[in-house]
């Protein structure tokens, strides 16, 4: 499983990345967490508002820091 | 440099506490009971702030009524709780409204609109769509590649920061509804007009090439269905996040305002920012550009300036240029816009603001 955190590196994006990594560690999910900070790539994935989270190419959340419960739901 | 800009402009939306889970089945009767009670309490405190600040300044603290320092301290002690209380109410209300909108939805509403109608709609949506300037670039690309005309996109990008809920709420509370309404109306007019002009100039080829070659795929993600309780939580999160971020600017702004209120003699402002001289409006705009404050910090200063006889037009122009024309945002937008388009953007918006300033100096006292 591949989880992408899309965002230019602002405070919200860092927070999102941190939460996702925490949830991955807690649940022991087999997932690779990748940060995407390049504007071209972000816009190219169809994301309009950052931070956004993609799991295996599917946009799960945009424009907000997701809650831990939500993240855990995507990892199943 | 860029990094620090990103940090300062980027912490926009709510970082909710990761561990707290919302309970969707919270009973609504509790809410119905708590809401009127809370508002009544809020109102009771709010209406007694003036008396409280006087008591505190002249009875409990050793200031003499009528002294410069006393006037400053009273202003500060009165404005600080007043502004904070107003902020909480306004940010909460707007937060709840914003939970009904998203940039994705706004984009879908704006795609393929004709110029004038699109500009009007974009400016209005700019007020209610949750947007933060760190998302300006993906949003810009997302809009333009989805078929939102360039001018319409600009109307959104100008209105979103300028006609700002914090600015409106504070203006209403501190200066009065008339100035607040004027500000909203003229801010929208500038956003609509500037976007329309940019659209008419046909500057599409001044977007950076890599953006033009880009084709965005895919639609927006699934929209979550939110319960009323979720929306109230969204509002509460917005209050915690926004107040946590702006309180220092608010205090600084009120301190500057208090200094002006207590120590600057009547008439000095009228001489500097009065309506007599034509150059006072351009000066106000030029002074405003390098200042990067958010709306919350600038309004107490505006209140004090107006109180000391600064002309309304010059003051509005100053406020708009501080909020709408900010250097950090230009730097961010430079990634997608060629220099010529940035220059046009600044020129058109500045012209609009100048027009507003001259108009109100001419019409009002």
Give the model confidence (pLDDT) of B73-98 as tens digits. Answer: 888 888 888 888 888 888 888 888 88
Q: What is the structure's pLDDT at B22?
A: 46
Asked if B259 is an interface residue toward chain A (Cβ–Cβ < 8 A), one would say: no
pLDDT digits (tens, 9 = 90+) for B147-190: 888 899 989 988 887 887 777 877 887 788 888 888 889 989 99
Task: Check pLDDT > 50 for residue B11.
Answer: no
| pLDDT over 90, % of chain B | 5
Shortest Cα distance, chain A CAs vs residue B126, angstroms: 14
Contact between B269 and B317 under an 8 Å Cβ cutoff? The reply is no
Interface test with A, best of B131, B135, B231 (most A CBs within 10 A): B135
> Is this prediction's ipTM beyond 0.85?
no
Q: Which residue in chain B is spatially nearest to A67 when comparing CA positions?
A: B18
Looking at the predicted structure, is the pLDDT value of residue B192 above 90? yes
CA separation for the pair B186, B357 (Å, rounded): 10
Sort out which chain A residues have CB atoms less than 8 A from B22's CB and list them.
Answer: 67
Is the model more confident about B286 or about B22? B286
Assigned token pair, B29: 């009767």
Q: What is the pLDDT of residue B295?
A: 67
pLDDT band at B271 (very low <50, low <70, confident <90, very high): low
Q: Which residues of B touch A59 (CB under 8 A)?
A: 218, 220-221
B119 falls in which pLDDT band (50, 70, 90)? very high
pLDDT of residue B21: 43
pLDDT for B278 beyond 90: no
Q: Report, as ranges of residue numbers, the positions in chain A whose pLDDT lies below 50.
A: none
Provide the pLDDT for residue B19. 37
- B352-356 long-range CB contacts below 8 Å, 24 or more apart? B352/B189, B352/B190, B352/B193, B352/B194, B353/B190, B353/B285, B353/B317, B353/B320, B353/B321, B353/B324, B353/B325, B354/B281, B354/B282, B354/B285, B354/B317, B355/B190, B356/B186, B356/B189, B356/B190, B356/B313, B356/B316, B356/B317, B356/B320
- Look at residue B197 in the predicted model and tell me its pLDDT: 92
Q: Does residue B8 register a pLDDT over 50?
A: no
Would you call A8 and B15 a contact, using CB atoms and an 8 Å cutoff? no
Active-site position among A2, A8, A10, A18: A10
d(CA B271, CA B97): 42
φ, ψ for residue A44 (rounded to 5)?
-65, -25
DSSP alpha helix (H) spans, B24-67: 28-47, 49-54
Closest by CA position to B254, among listed B296, B292, B301, B295: B301
According to the model, what pLDDT value does residue B221 have?
52
pLDDT at B337 over 90: no
pLDDT in tens, B25-66: 556 677 677 778 888 888 888 888 888 888 888 878 888 877
Mutating which of A38, A46, A71, A74 best tests the B interface, going by the most B Cβ atoms within 10 A? A46
- Note whether B65 contacts A: Cβ–Cβ < 8 A: no
Picking from B2, B8, B10, B106 by the largest number of A CB atoms within 10 A of its own CB, the best residue to mutate is B10
B134 reaches A (C-beta below 8 A) = yes
- Going by C-alpha positions, the residue among B168, B18, B179 that lies closest to residue B89 is B168
- Tell if the CB–CB gap between B214 and A47 is shorter than 8 Å: no
Domains in chain A, ordered, with CATH? 2-75 (3.40.30.10)
């Amino acid at each position: 499983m591949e989880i992408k955190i899309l965002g230019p590196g602002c405070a919200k994006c860092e927070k999102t990345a941190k939460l996702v990594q925490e949830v991955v560690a807690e649940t022991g999910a087999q997932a690779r967490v990748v940060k995407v900070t390049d504007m071209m790539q972000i816009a190219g994935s169809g994301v309009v508002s950052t931070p956004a989270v993609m799991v295996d190419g599917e946009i799960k959340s945009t424009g907000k820091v997701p809650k831990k419960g939500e993240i855990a739901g995507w990892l199943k | 440099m860029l990094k620090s800009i990103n940090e300062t402009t980027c912490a926009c939306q709510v970082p909710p506490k990761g561990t707290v889970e919302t309970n969707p089945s919270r009973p609504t009767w509790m809410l119905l009971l708590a809401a009127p009670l809370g508002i009544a309490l809020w109102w009771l405190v709010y209406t007694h702030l003036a008396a409280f600040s006087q008591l505190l300044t002249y009875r409990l603290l050793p200031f003499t009524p009528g002294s410069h320092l006393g006037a400053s301290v009273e202003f500060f002690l009165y404005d600080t709780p007043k502004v904070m209380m107003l902020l909480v109410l306004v940010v909460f209300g707007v937060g709840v409204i914003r939970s009904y909108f998203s940039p994705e939805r706004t984009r879908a509403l704006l795609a393929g609109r004709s110029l004038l109608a699109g500009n009007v709609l974009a400016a209005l949506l700019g007020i209610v769509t949750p947007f933060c300037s760190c998302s300006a670039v993906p949003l810009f690309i997302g809009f333009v590649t989805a078929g939102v005309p360039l001018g319409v996109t600009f109307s959104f990008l100008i209105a979103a920061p300028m006609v700002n809920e914090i600015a409106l709420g504070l203006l209403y509370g501190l200066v009065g509804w008339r100035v607040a309404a004027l500000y909203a109306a003229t801010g929208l007019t500038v956003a609509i007009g500037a976007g329309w002009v940019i659209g008419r100039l046909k500057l599409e080829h001044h977007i950076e090439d890599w953006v033009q070659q880009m084709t965005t795929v895919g639609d927006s993600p699934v929209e979550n269905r939110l319960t009323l309780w979720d929306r109230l939580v969204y509002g509460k999160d917005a209050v915690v996040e926004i107040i946590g971020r702006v309180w220092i600017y608010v205090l600084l702004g009120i301190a500057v305002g208090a200094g002006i209120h207590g120590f600057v003699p009547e008439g000095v402002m009228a001489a500097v920012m009065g309506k007599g001289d034509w150059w006072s409006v351009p000066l106000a705009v030029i002074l405003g550009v390098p200042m990067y404050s958010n709306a919350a910090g600038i309004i107490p200063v505006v209140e004090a300036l107006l109180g000391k006889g600064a002309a309304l037009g010059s003051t509005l122009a100053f406020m708009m240029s501080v909020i709408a024309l900010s250097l950090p945002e230009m730097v961010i937008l430079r990634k997608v816009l060629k220099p010529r388009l940035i220059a046009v953007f600044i020129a058109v918006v500045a012209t609009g603001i100048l027009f507003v300033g001259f108009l109100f100096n001419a019409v009002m006292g």
